[in-house]
Amino acid sequence: MIELEGVPELIDPVMICAFEGWNDAGDAASTAVGHLDREWKGEVFAALDAEDYYDFQVNRPTVALEGGIRKVTWPTTRLSVVRAGGGDKPRDLVLVRGIEPSMRWRSFCNEILGYAHELGVEMVVVLGALLGDTPHTRPVPVSGVTSDPDLARSLDLEESRYEGPTGIVGILQEACTHAGVPAVSLWAAVPHYVSQPPNPKATLALLNRLEDLIGVRIPLGELTEDARAWQLGVDQLAAEDSEVAEYVQSLEEARDTAELPEASGEAIAREFERYLRRRDGQPGPGGHATDAAGGVADGRDGGTGSYLRDSSSPGSGTGSARPRRPSAKDDAEEEEEERDENGDGDEGGRERPDDQD
């Protein structure tokens, strides 16, 4: 039975979820939700029963002293609500933060969706972080994934094509899809060679992408400075190890190559035109680039230009040599051949009258 005592009517609510564990490299996702809760002073209104979902030998409870009194804190998942944005267009966020459950994942997701239904949640956004071959010196890649084709088109997201083992992030998104609740997963890639938490740079990247997705400005506090300090610290560690520095450089080169313009037909045509202009030193007629043989590189004639020489011909070199301009002697020889074919020339090799002095 879901009880929502003390929870006011929410404005355009969005549910933001993150779970510690397998889906949370560098604690980037759970730290992002914790940041939202802290900056907007979230109020916890519900917690899932730890007995139902957690193996306490895997996720052990903790003991702390508060005012001389021992207090046990059980691993669980808590829900809080914050009002974001403010001003003329406030929006409420339902924050779900906990540990990936050890058992009964279907029941766990159904309980989360029960709260989403009762609160009138319009969309569920699940944050995750994974280890990847990404350099710490470049912007953190964040991918937005959904199983809803319409949502993918409207929000410029990727449709999920992943196959393989999954965590609670994937299961919750699938449960939302079956329940008809719009759901999006945002995944940040964390460098696998510096995977230990925290990773404020990845957390910052997730919050920036979330800000764009839900249309709410998120106060970042000291997170920007923390991310800068984190990168400087990793820079120093990498500089002290030549093997790590060389590996980071290889990742940078691979990343930069992958981000070159897409090799589409139009992109290839544009690159080819630029190449030809560099060879000729000037644009061709009508602003088109000309190839080395004077043909316009407009994609006709197989994209090679109408004057490119057959590469199998002798002396063709690269197959792009400019044909020789006909001379006066060439014209005379051609005229003579035409007369011979028409029977107009003298036979037996005798000189023609026009050849005499």
CA nearest neighbour of 47 among 98, 6, 8, 7: 98
Tokens 């990498």 identify what position? 238
Classify each residue of 34-67 as buried b or exposed e, where b means 16 or more C-beta atoms within 10 Å of its C-beta: bbbbebbebeebbebebeebbeeeebeeeeeeee
Q: Could you report the per-residue pLDDT of 133-188, keeping only the tens digit for each? A: 999 999 999 999 998 888 888 888 888 888 888 999 999 999 999 999 999 999 99
- pLDDT band of 346, cuts 50, 70, 90: very low
Q: What is the Cα–Cα distance from 157 to 144, expressed in whole angstroms? A: 5
Identify the pLDDT of residue 318.
36
138, 227 contact by CB (below 8 A): no
**Is 137 buried (19+), middle (13-18) or exposed (0-12) by CB count in 10 A?**
middle
32, 18 contact by CB (below 8 A): yes
Average pLDDT, the chain: 78
Identify the pLDDT of residue 81.
94
Identify the pLDDT of residue 272.
53
Q: What is the Cα–Cα distance from 233 to 211, expressed in whole angstroms? A: 27
Q: Could you report the per-residue pLDDT of 216-275, keeping only the tens digit for each? A: 999 999 999 999 999 999 999 888 988 889 999 899 888 888 766 544 455 445 555 544
What is the pTM for the complete model shown? 0.70
Percent of the chain with pLDDT over 70: 70
Question: How is residue 324 written in tokens?
Answer: 């020789």
**More confident site: 314 or 250:** 250
Identify the pLDDT of residue 113.
97
Does position 302 have pLDDT exceeding 50, yes or no?
Answer: no
CA atoms within 13 A on the CB side of 342: 8
Identify the pLDDT of residue 159.
85
Identify the pLDDT of residue 313.
34
Q: What is the Cα–Cα distance from 11 to 9, expressed in whole angstroms? A: 7
Question: How is residue 219 written in tokens?
Answer: 């106060």
